Amino acid sequence: MNAKRPICAAPALETPAPAASHSYQYSNLEHTEVGSTALAEEVALAIAYNDISQAVMLVTPTDLEDFIVGFSLGSGIITDVSDIYDLKISGSGSGSAQYAQVQISSRAFWNLKQQRRQLAGTSGCGLCGVEAVEQALPDLQVLPGAPLPPADWLDGLRQRISAFQPLGQYSGAVHAAIFMNNQGELLMGREDIGRHNALDKLIGALIRQEIPTDGGLAIVTSRCSLELIQKVLRAGIQTLISLSSPTGLALQWARRHNLNLIHLPQKSAPRVYSPAMEYQP
């Protein structure tokens, strides 16, 4: 693989106000000045599998089909997109409830019932509703291992991924997950108020658009905890780059499962946490 300067297949920076944001008024404490600003929207998304309610998640109301597919895979409800037979979303825009009816295979539905979950999701939740340690720390497949990305691919990455965060730049208050392919090209990004949700949306988009993940990597703008590690492992993505430090448990799982884990600090060189490296003076 050539360590060429990565390119960015990015959308134009000058875009209209994202649909998932609205303008709201505010005033100063003395009520002498009034202004307005854009804020990110969120809705309650109720998810039912085979007509059985499973979860209520607070999400940004964009790319919901991507989210459902990514959430289903990342939560271990399905093992392959072929387990989803039908997906219908109903409800109206921001500020109201959305409903997702997902029809899944008998195999996946049996697996879901075995998990005995009843989630009540929030934008910050990850393992809420898990009833047993075995569910929180599942036995996941070890990745075959992949080379680390060339250093050039990470040059100026923090600045380049901003093109994939239109909602974040416009209103703030959201996380992003971005995919870079095996040529160092930034292909797509997804945003959400929840860091888990943003990664679920990205994984779902990759699956639905049949984009190969071999040799590619995922980038998350949030802190890197165990739940994000589990999601990329289930998706088969072999490299994860986080703009914030990983937790110790996330690092241990990354090393144990052959996942490349890289932290990209704001003002220093990238830090490779997994695989473990021996110091060579």
The DSSP element (H or E) to which 240 belongs, if any, is strand 239-242
Q: Is 159 exposed, middle or buried (0-12, 13-18, 19+ CB in 10 A)?
A: exposed
Number of helices and strands (H, E) in the chain?
8, 12
Beta strand 52-59 with 43-49 is antiparallel
Q: How far apart are the first and last CA of the chain?
A: 26
Residue of 8, 125, 128, 224 marked catalytic: 125
CB-based contact 65:90 (threshold 8 Å): no
Q: Distance between CA atoms of 143 and 259, rounded to whole angstroms? A: 7
| Residue 271 backbone phi and psi in degrees, to 5 | -115, 120
The conformation of residue 224, written as its DSSP 8-state character, comes to B
Whether 125 is a known active-site residue: answer yes
H helices of 172-240, in order, are 195-208, 226-235
Q: Distance between CA atoms of 33 and 53, rounded to whole angstroms? A: 46
CB-based contact 42:193 (threshold 8 Å): yes
Catalytic sites, residue numbers:
125
